Chain A
Amino acid sequence: AQKVTQAQTEISVVEKEDVTLDCVYETRDTTYYLFWYKQPPSGELVFLIRRNSFDEQNEISGRYSWNFQKSTSSFNFTITASQVVDSAVYFCALFNTGGFKTIFGAGTRLFVKA
């Protein structure tokens, strides 16, 4: 069975703090893709990053970085020097190439206080 677990329901930080959002996944497939999406207060989900199962290189994009570790089935997301605009719900998701469906985690709500 496929599953995505985001154990942190809500996180609250003060602006400029670093914060890591955890994502643990389960799949029996060897080929799969992992995603992070952001849902700001406006409601619309926005794609942040995609990573395939054969590429364990970490990625950095500005203040955002992602740590993919197959050994622990984790795909964690770190925001450095958080800003109020980072306040949103963040979803981790799993897609396996043998199917058509993306499995989403329950989401982590991040509050960044000024």
Chain B
Amino acid sequence: NAGVTQTPKFRVLKTGQSMTLLCAQDMNHEYMYWYRQDPGMGLRLIHYSVGEGTTAKGEVPDGYNVSRLKKQNFLLGLESAAPSQTSVYFCASKRGTVGVDEQYFGPGTRLTVT
């Protein structure tokens, strides 16, 4: 199993450009999450999904959109990138809340917006 994979690993955008980050998991997990990690702030939840076709806002959703058309994929979109979105983005998945499970994380995407 590949676990959780993220594409791309690195990206540099100019202000105003758009992009999509792809997260894929092959563990048949129901729940998927997008976090951003900034120095001194830990991991902050952007959006999450509790199943195919569902999405919900997290702690810092502004400027981002997501879609979960297939159970194994969770896409994070930036429509008009801003320097404040420079960060490391992590995707995670977990089986579900029944028998609370740990999250499995992808390797991260380092995004720089200039």
Contact = CB atoms under 8 A, between A and B. Distances in A.
A37 B42 CA distance: 12
A45 B56 contact: no
A100 B48 contact: yes
Contacts of A35: 102
B43 A44 contact: no
Interface string A1-36: 000001001000000000000000000000001010
Interface residues of A, number: 23
A97 B100 contact: yes
B43 A91 contact: yes
Contact of B105 (A9, A44, A105, A106): A44
B90 A100 contact: no
A107 B108 contact: no
B56 A100 contact: yes
Q: Classify chain B's interface size.
A: 20 to 34
B43 A43 contact: no
Contacts of A33: 100
Given A43-B107, A43-B108, A44-B106, A104 B43 contact: yes
A71 B56 CA distance: 34
B69 to A, nearest CB: 19
Contacts of B67: none
Contacts of A47: 102-104
Contact of B108 (A37, A44, A95): A44
Given A44-B108, A102-B103, 7 more contacts: A9-B40, A35-B102, A44-B105, A44-B107, A97-B97, A102-B45, A104-B35
21 contacts: A33-B100, A37-B105, A44-B108, A45-B43, A45-B105, A46-B105, A47-B103, A50-B100, A50-B102, A100-B50, A100-B97, A101-B45, A101-B58, A101-B59, A102-B45, A104-B35, A104-B44, A105-B42, A106-B40, A106-B42, A107-B42
Interface of B: 31, 33, 35, 40-45, 48, 50, 56, 58-59, 88, 90, 92, 97, 100, 102-108
